[in-house]
Amino acid sequence: MKINVPTMTNGYLDDKYTKHTSAVNQTDGSPFISFPINITDVPENAKYLAFTLTDLDSIPVCGFEWIHWVAANIPADCTNIPEDAGRNNPFKWTRGYNSLAGGMLNKRDNPISAGYVGPTPPDKTHYYTLTVYALDAKLPLHDGFWYNELIHTMQGQLLEKSSITLPVKA
């Protein structure tokens, strides 16, 4: 499986999807317009896709891997995820919580706590990991699931996974 994010500028995720976006594309200082994703070479027997966007470089900053986007139960033929799909959910996938909803911030009532919350590296360039999972069945998850629930629920359903790194400027 191959992943392409067509909105890279000079090797970095385009500012429109990060903390460098205009104020109109932010809520509470967090960017909410998600970037488009193109997925190719999905296994023929895949029924659904899932994906995660996380930041390992956040560990020295906040103590844990920051979760920016988690989605599951995307039909396997929906391989062109359009811009702003994190908010608009055009394929009616199941939305997971991002780190805004976690106990440290507890912003579950924030409209972007389930769906995409864009990168906002505070200290240096961070390297975000976008991982796509091809699955042989729909997962028994509901809106507001957690990243760990996705990982546990995929056991025995995972056909293939692929990741790419998306650098974002501080």
What confidence score (pLDDT) does residue 102 get? 72
Instruction: pLDDT tens for the chain, 170 residues: list them.
Output: 999 999 999 999 999 999 999 999 998 888 999 999 999 999 999 999 999 999 999 999 988 999 999 999 999 999 999 999 999 999 999 999 999 887 655 566 666 788 899 999 999 999 999 999 999 999 999 999 999 999 999 999 999 999 999 999 99
What confidence score (pLDDT) does residue 160 get? 98
Cα dihedral 129, 97, 34, 155 sign: positive
Domain count, the chain: 1
What confidence score (pLDDT) does residue 79 get? 97
What confidence score (pLDDT) does residue 114 get? 87
What confidence score (pLDDT) does residue 110 get? 62
Give the DSSP H or E segment for 162. Answer: strand 158-168
What confidence score (pLDDT) does residue 59 get? 92
What confidence score (pLDDT) does residue 107 get? 63
Q: Quick check: pTM over 0.85? A: yes
The CATH number of the domain holding residue 40 is 3.90.280.10
- Enumerate residues 6+ apart whose C-beta is below 8 A from 75: 47, 48, 49, 91
Q: Which domain holds residue 50?
A: 2-168
CA dist., res. 155 & res. 88, Å (int): 28
